[in-house]
Amino acid sequence: MGAFVGLIAGVGAFLIWWSCWEPVSRPLTSRSILIGRLRSLLQEADLPSVSPPAFFAVCTAAAAGTGLALFVFTQVASIAGCFAGIAGWAPYLVVRGRARRRRQRFRELWPDVVDNLASGVRAGLSLPDALAALGDRGPEPLRPPFRAFARDHRLSGNFAGSLDALKARLADPTGDRLCEALRITREVGGSDLGKLLRNLSTFLRDDARVRSELEARQSWTVSAARLAVSAPWLVLALLATKPESVQAYSSTTGTVVLAVGGGASVLAYRLMTVIGRLPEERRVLR
């Protein structure tokens, strides 16, 4: 009995001593930050089932396959390396373009979602019921996430957890704002939800109208810049079909020319995206 009491006292003293020390948080490494950003991009592109390692594997396979095929065809390592880099970067550009088009499509639909939600609240529906009703009455592209929310809430009855799952499925800044506003209203109450939703709907419509006008005006400029960046590499791909033209790049001078051209293309494309980029909302409430 005395040994048991002594053991309990020792464990209690250890727990008291342990509670006096703050846990040391590990700093985020560049690798974890990169993986987090890539996972967020895949969610915004509506590809949640694709993991970052699988995406890296796809990029590596595309680069390796293209580089090997070009090297077998041309026997010039510099040309194969250039097109391998382009092929390895292509999946990222495809996913980023898919995410951008998804945000643009959702930007036009969010005002209708907010209006339907405000109508449900005015009709006397509770917040979970009003959100679940969007799975049947909301815009078609946004119905699956709200149907999943209705299923989660029906099975668990946990509004906060179902709302977190809805935010992850939507993966949209406007969806994050809407979910957090509903969470606060649910927890602290208030009678200004209808006014908040009306103001949000007006703001979203104005923002979508202005952004669509700006995108229409700059679309031809962005397309011309992309064509200017890709044109030299299209010419190089055509030249690669002729053995006598390919041999000019097998020397050290040809390799330097390709390296300088690749660096100039990357720099020009980066400057084009920075200068022509419109302000995008970031998911600060994820």
Region for residue 242 given its phi and psi (left: phi exceeds 0; alpha: psi -120 to 50; beta: otherwise): beta
Total number of domains in the chain: 2
Q: Do 188 and 48 reside in the same domain of the chain?
A: no
pLDDT classification of 168: cutoffs 50, 70, 90: confident
Q: Residue 248 falls within a domain, yes or no?
A: yes
The pLDDT tens digits for 184-205 are: 877 776 567 777 788 888 888 8
Q: Residue 31 falls within a domain, yes or no?
A: no
Q: Residue 25 falls within a domain, yes or no?
A: no
Q: Residue 60 falls within a domain, yes or no?
A: yes
Q: Do 96 and 145 reside in the same domain of the chain?
A: no
Could you tell me how far CA 143 lies from the centroid of its own chain? Answer: 20
Mean pLDDT, rounded, of the chain: 81
Q: Do 213 and 100 reside in the same domain of the chain?
A: yes
pTM of the model: 0.76
Q: What is the pLDDT of residue 11?
A: 63
Judge whether 202 and 257 are in contact, CB under 8 Å. Answer: no
For the cut 70, the answer to whether the pLDDT of residue 20 exceeds it is: no
How far is the C-alpha of 204 from the C-alpha of 194, rounded, in Å? Answer: 15
Main-chain phi, psi angles of 73, to 5 degrees: -80, -40
Query: Which amino acid is present at 112?
Result: D
For the cut 70, the answer to whether the pLDDT of residue 15 exceeds it is: no
Q: Do 152 and 204 reside in the same domain of the chain?
A: yes
Main-chain phi, psi angles of 182, to 5 degrees: -70, -35
The pLDDT tens digits for 218-242 are: 777 777 778 888 888 888 888 878 7
Q: Residue 15 falls within a domain, yes or no?
A: no
Question: What domain range is 153 assigned to?
Answer: 106-208
Q: What is the pLDDT of residue 60?
A: 92
Q: Do 97 and 123 reside in the same domain of the chain?
A: no
Q: Do 132 and 185 reside in the same domain of the chain?
A: yes
Burial class (CB in 10 A: 0-12, 13-18, 19+), 146: buried
Token representation of residue 22: 């703050």
Q: What is the pLDDT of residue 136?
A: 87
Residue 188 CB: number of other CB atoms within 10 A? 7
Chosen domain end from 177, 208, 239: 208
Residue 48 CB: number of other CB atoms within 10 A? 13
Q: What is the mean pLDDT of residues 256-265?
A: 86
pLDDT classification of 28: cutoffs 50, 70, 90: low
Cα dihedral: 145, 106, 204, 181 (round 10): 20
Q: Residue 8 falls within a domain, yes or no?
A: no
